[in-house]
Amino acid sequence: MEWPSCLNEYEKLIIRMDTPRVVIDNAVCATATLVKVDSARKHGILLEAVQVLTDLNLSIKKAYISSDGRWFMDVFHVTDQFGRKLADDSVISYLEQSLDMKEHDFHRPDSAEGLTVLELTGADRPGLLSEVFAVLADLCCGVVDAKVWTHNGRIACLVTVKDKLSGRPIDGDPQLLHHVESRLRHVLKGDHGVCGARTAVSSTPVAHTDRRLHQMMFSDRDYERHSPSAASSTSPAVSVQNWVEKGYSVVAVQCRDRPKLLFDVMCTLTDMEYVVFHGTIDTDGDLAQQEFYIRHKDGSPISSEAERQRMIQCLEAAIERRATEVTNQTKSIHLH
């Protein structure tokens, strides 16, 4: 391992102790590659491991999560997007390096020079995206990339732009930036008032767009806005119960399996500041079953019926935001 020159020997020792230990095994299981990760437990590290696997388009067929005191061990049974075991040495090597270094992230991406990221949330309606891009074009903002999620009548959008004429980031011109935000808020709020629309600006690249979109929709409380139609047979089934003797809350999820399902569930549990101490994930055909033993960060289980219902609503929303089929309630659009 090559260490950054700024680290002293004590810092290097601490990193050696805390850095995840990764084992990738193709011999144990006939149908999947086993990825085992051992590490010191900290909030969010399970999500980081799942994110690495998801970003490589790997399918998690089974998983076992267990923690003991300050340490945790995760075992993932993964396949590639074609349902095969991992055979490419370069992919395996990249996976090992990504899981090893993810916690410390020495190689953070450089700032995207000349780009500004706009974060937009508001009420969804027909023609909204056309109006947003028309405003940006009218103000000479070149759209480099955009990703949009809609759910329960709400929209969250990440748009990466630059000044079309100068090529510079638009946040370098405070007057232009104010004008862009003002025009976009006017478009987003529609008939729902100022509180129904929000804009934010960043001059640094978003570390993970899907992760940020989950956070934006969670902050917008899209889980509180329900479709009037009845739940279909493909709707997720989520239950939450307390295991009083052990001091855990037990979360069970059953729904149609799809790519990135575990990632979406883990984003919500992490954003709600719950810690997963134990868990199992299993798939049977197109059906996925997940069970998690969780507590708050302070060590307490879910304490009220209102909190239990909120957990159910938030997990249902996280699963439905990324639907495999476009419906009137949920769609995902990626523009590049």
- Lowest model confidence (mean pLDDT) among 142-146, 175-179, 202-206, 277-281: 202-206
Closest of 247, 223, 239 to residue 303, by C-alpha: 247
Write the pLDDT tens digit of every residue in 150-184.
999 999 999 999 998 888 888 888 999 999 999 99
Query: Using one digit for the tens of pLDDT, what is the confidence trace for 30-63?
Result: 999 999 998 887 788 899 999 999 999 999 999 9
pLDDT reading at 112 higher than 60: no
Given a cut of 60, whether residue 327 has pLDDT beyond it is no
Q: Which of 89, 160, 79, 76 is nearest to 119 (CA)?
A: 160
Residue 277 pLDDT > 80: yes
pLDDT tens for each residue of 222-233: 998 655 444 555
CA-nearest of 124, 121, 114, 108 to 208 is 108
Q: Which is more confident, 135 or 166?
A: 135
Q: Considering the chain, what is the average pLDDT of its residues?
A: 85
Q: Residue 70, SS3?
A: coil
Residue 332 has pLDDT above 60, yes or no: no
* pLDDT, position 114: 67
CB contact burial 74-110 (16+ within 10 A = b; e otherwise): bbbbbbbeeeeebeeeeeeeebeebbbbbbeeeeeee
> Is a pLDDT exceeding 60 seen at residue 1?
no
**Domains parsed from the chain with CATH numbers:** 9-101 (3.30.70.260), 116-225 (3.30.70.260), 237-307 (3.30.70)
**Cross-strand partners of 41:** none
β-partners of residue 39 are 72
pLDDT value at 330 more than 50: no
**Which letter does DSSP use for residue 230 in this model?**
P
State how far the Cα of 309 lies from the Cα of 311, in Å rounded to an integer.
5
Q: What is the mean pLDDT of residues 109-118?
A: 68
